[in-house]
Structure 1
Amino acid sequence: MKKIAAKTVSKGSTIRLLFLLCTIPVLMIVGCASRPDFSQIPSEIARDPTVAAPYRIENGDTLLVKFPYTDRHDEEVIVQPDGLIVLGVTGEVKAAGLTTVELEEAIRSASSKRLRDPQVFVTVKSSAQKVYVGGEVKTAGFVPFRENLTPLQAVFERGGLSSFTII
């Protein structure tokens, strides 16, 4: 009976060894056969989550448009409800939905009809994004929204908690 058990174990070990010898090369071939195509990943997924997306200009934003070599054309403008801004040197330019870099290029292109090799810098002076803080605060009202604004910071920007607040 001991010989039979030994033969069975020996036969089982041989089968396992044979299985491993056949399986490992197959897995190695399959694993090396194809590589994933990362170029097909949508940019929203592939983007690094720690890097913020560039700010997109919105209706109501206040912008500073500077022409460094021709200061007389510098302007502070508010993006109109239709998404346009009006500059003296260019006329109407679509701003809503663009980043500052994209708007700079649009203004540069439009102003090149009147200016030679124009240089333009656009800065968002104030954003139209606001949050309303109400309830048991000293002064209810809107607070300009900014990235990483916490509810507590918004409450303190409106004067803090009222004297009737129970904590």
Structure 2
Amino acid sequence: MPSPYCVRHPPKALCRGRTGWRLGECHFASGSHSSCRPARSPNWKRVLNFGEIPMTETNWKVSLIGIAVLLVASVSTFVGQNRETEIISSAGPQAPEESKATLGPGNQPETDRPTLQLRNPRYQLRRGDSFELNFPYAPAFNQNLTVHPDGYITLRGVGDLRVEGRTIPELTQALRTEYSKIFQEPTITVDLKDFEKPYFIASGEVERPGKYDLRGDTTVAQAVAIAVG
């Protein structure tokens, strides 16, 4: 019966002799003690019987290298995920900054951008303007109207209608819509009588200071000449 002090792995094993554990070949004596003879092969050093797989020094090194590689891969993956998280986090708050760029002080839209202007804009009604409405097929509804200070007019048989800021074609269409409640496809014409004309004011050392109508393209020199007389 083998001695309990000998780790079985013939012909080379770890055996316990008188001087301690050694790598060699175990020889069992008749008693309960064993003797150990050193192995001749240099490849078997520090052999451990770990289950059914002998763990040599080379196997230990390979295992350690594998563990190190796994640790490095895990750290790299963790760092990469943190890096992606930082990129997403840093990119997140930039959206409000971009939206703020389009707003001026007090979160009001900026008006510095150039706006499109009509080449030949139509006149828009203002407060105090007066015009005449004509109904060719219903003369009883003919009327002269003046835009009130609040921008409204009072129509006969219809009521109040806001007209400030509208052009003559827009006013005509609005009147047809209102009077279609009374007439079927009414015919209406609008004749603008009095309106705010372009003007300039001459003041200072001129013979006739005051307000003058601005007709056509008038230069500053021409305006001074008009005021001087």
CA distance in 1, matches of 2:210, 2:198: 10
* Matched length: 113
Q: Give the number of the structure whose residues are more often strand, by fraction.
A: 2
AA at the equivalent of 2:116:
E
Are 2:194 and 1:122 aligned? no
Q: Give the number of the structure whose residues are more often helix, by fraction.
A: 1
Q: Which runs of 5+ in 1 are unaligned?
A: 1-41, 163-167
* Cα offset, 1:155, TM superposition: 6.6
Matches within 5 A, 1:13-162: 44=116, 49=119, 52-129=120-197, 131-135=199-203, 136-138=206-208, 140-148=209-217, 152=222, 156=226, 161=228
Give me the identity figure in percent. 25
Greater C-alpha radius of gyration: 2
Q: Secondary structure at the match of 1:44?
A: coil
- Structure 1's 153 and 84: CA in aligned 2 closer, same or farther, altered over 3 A? same
| Contact preservation (8 Å) 2:129, 2:194 | yes
| Contact preservation (8 Å) 2:200, 2:214 | no
Q: Normalized against structure 2, the TM-score is what?
A: 0.41
* Cα offset, 1:144, TM superposition: 4.3
More RCO (CA 8 Å, sep 6+): 1
* Cα offset, 1:58, TM superposition: 1.1
